[in-house]
Structure 1
Amino acid sequence: MMKFIFMGLSVVILCFMKNVFWMVQNVYYFMMILFMLMPIKGYLIFSLSYIFSCDIISYFLILLSIWISGLMIMASFKIYLKNFHLSLFLMNISFLLLMLICTFSTLNLFMFYLFFEGSLVPVLLLILGWGAQPERIQAGFYLLFYTMIVSLPLLMGIFFIYGEVNSLMIYMVSWGDLSINNILLYFIMLGAFLVKIPMFLVHLWLPKAHLEAPISGSMILAGIMLKLGGYGIIRVLKILSHLNMGLNSYLIMLSMLGGLLVSLMCFFQMDMKALVAYSSVVHMGLMLAGLLTQTCWGVSGAYLVMIGHGLCSSGLFCLVNFNYERLFSRNLMLNKGMLSMMPSLSLWWFMLLSSNMAAPLSLNLLGEIMLISSLVMWSVVLMLLLGLVSFFSAGYSLYLFAFVQQGVSSMNLNNYYLIESREFLLLLLHWVPLNLLFLYSLYTLLT
């Protein structure tokens, strides 16, 4: 793992050179190819050291981080054309990727905390520095304070565990080693991750951050940053498994009820970006509920949904940005009649929205089937809530597609120029892995 971290540091230095916009993206994909060549079988850990390592849980999340970071550069072509602090922009993305790789590959709880909180800084700089909306400072404060309020209790909980066990290595700490097992420790250790997911009631920072962020900020927020919360819960539940069995029912019910309420809120959104952002809260609420059951199918389904949602939601934000660059508005009332203006782009809207509502040949379908099975096995009472959430998830996806694609356009057709080959490639690189991973995961389950 250390060689990939050193490569990440070298990319940060490379960003200060001139005319390296596409070179940085090529280096990212070269890193990803090298990482894919590393052998991994089952749950075996490779590159084991005292600080950094990698197992099957962090393996695909690191691949997703490198993949989305490369697509962020491709989607930010306008920054390249305007040369708006281009070196700082590339350095910011490279530093963010370095923080994400370190977060997913560390075995030490304190190091994990440092990298987990350190990844907040580049995202905040993306919103404040390259966000085009006037309320980006307020969105930055939302993101900062929601995260920082719960980060100090997490640090105190990590120090308490170190005082009890004299070790911060994740695989060397278990709930039986702790002398105090109470509700406070459970919520202190999970609080920062619940905000990062985000869970219902602490989710208000996410739509605000998405609305004010540039396309690269929205892609990394939806693609990777929300997955940090799920990854942290997977690691911490190993330590708090005994407490979780007695307290998870409250969080599961809150996540499912919150998912139902937020899915209804999606029908009242007039901003396309806000609708996609709220749909992320619905999917992450379902993911959290399945993860807290601590069953094999629940954890596996949550992991598949994290990977699938990272690709699908990032692609949807790209589509919304394509409309915004042409019509200078994200309002649903103004973005109408696209089917007659740009049929090829309408096809991509259909494919990504069908993946968003877990249609066949999508990784989200396999993940949600496993999540629904685990939650129904956990409690039959959840069957009604699961049915409603699934129904409304399909409903707001179809609502967005029908409202944007059909009808009569209220804008001048001269404002709508043809789609570029770069944009087709960007959407293709979101959609193809989303469906190939479904076939690979299905083959793995059947064999």
Structure 2
Amino acid sequence: MLSILQGLSSQRRFLWAGIPLVCSLALGACWNNRSSAETPSQGVQAEVTAAAQNPFPPIPTPPPPLPSPSGTPGLPPWWPRGQSSQWQDSPYAVALSGFLQGLAAQGGALSQQGILLWTAEGELLAEHLLDRPLPVGALDQLALSLMALEKWGYEYRFQTRFYTTSHRSGQRLTGDLVVVGGGDPYFREANVAELARHLHNLGIRQIDGEVKVVPPFRLLGQPDSLASARRLAELLRDPQGPYPVTLGGSGSTLRELPEEIHSLAGYTSLRLGSLLQILNGGNDRAMAEALLAELAGRTALLEYLQQRLVAQPVAHLDPKLAPAQLEIRLGPGGQELYLSPRALAHLWEHLLEATDGDPRRVLPVAGVGHSPLQLRALPPGTIAQVGSAANRLMMVGQLPDGTRFVLLNHGPDLGVLRQHQDQFLQQVLAVGEPLRR
């Protein structure tokens, strides 16, 4: 086939122009047959009903040809700027061009599609807008995971201690309940219930004072230490709870630990690696915010990423994947993280190093356990982190064959985006199969 194409060099552009359209039509037929949750019998019944209502359904109109960012007619729309000759024979050209054609046909803007494929050895396979910073949504949890692992280590555990400023008198504590936080990002209401049970086991039914918190302490879902202290007090005194404790006051915070205190209880968290599995496997944004607070906030995270990804790039990656500092920034309002596909590529490789080459230690795997990946039609064994926002669906990870990917996609229908992404990754895996033989 290659020799034929070389012999027909004058027709080369027209051949390339036709391939994306054929692929997009073929893929569109696959995606629109029936949803993944539809059973065969339901599909047959739907087709029979549709045929009875309209025996002559209209022939779908194919989408119009897309403009090429390279400005060269006939080249697939993902062709890298100024590098068309280098990528002309890429085996991933058809899959990526068809992917972009499908996204555009559904209303996705080509200027908002960040896509990158590379190998475990660092070779760049294909890209679209690899240097364009785009919002990453919950993919910021990859950055939080890396920063936390490098700060504390995989085996680190957070400690939360409980004290009283008084002595026990019968079933009463005449002073305050003092909580000394250790920054646990996953201290939950279930842990408060365990504290109440422990107090009952000690014979304590009443505390004359109030709950006083020495930060950092955050009850999951609460914005700060003061709100956490007040919520903890509410839960302890809840008469509907299995172990209610009477409290004389509400909650407040302390700058330092009182001089005279007596230990009541202590709680040790799961190891950090397990906490990150919970965070990434469930996309728990309240937990992410708690961990971010322990890492000094978004500005500190941004500075860390600019230093880690730009000043210390991964050595084995293709030089064209080295990100610039402007590709790592905060969006309008300073709340959402924007990263380019190649910045995310370096983030992924650094996370691999931090997990000793096994990202499954902190990330979900398609086909294993319960996570957002189980709702996708991904190749089994795919390791990834996903995120979503208005008109956006993002994913970073690696396929079972080790091929790495970044998908930052835009479109009006997230369900359709999921189908396009899953189909594309299935194709990427299929393209790579004969190349590995």
User: Which protein shows a greater Rg?
Assistant: 2
Whose relative contact order is higher, 1 or 2, with alpha carbons under 8 Å and at least 6 apart?
2
Please state which band the TM-score falls in when normalised by the shorter chain.
under 0.3
Which of the two has greater helix per residue? 1
Which of the two has greater strand per residue? 2
- TM-score for the superposition, normalised by structure 2: 0.24
- TM-score for the superposition, normalised by structure 1: 0.23
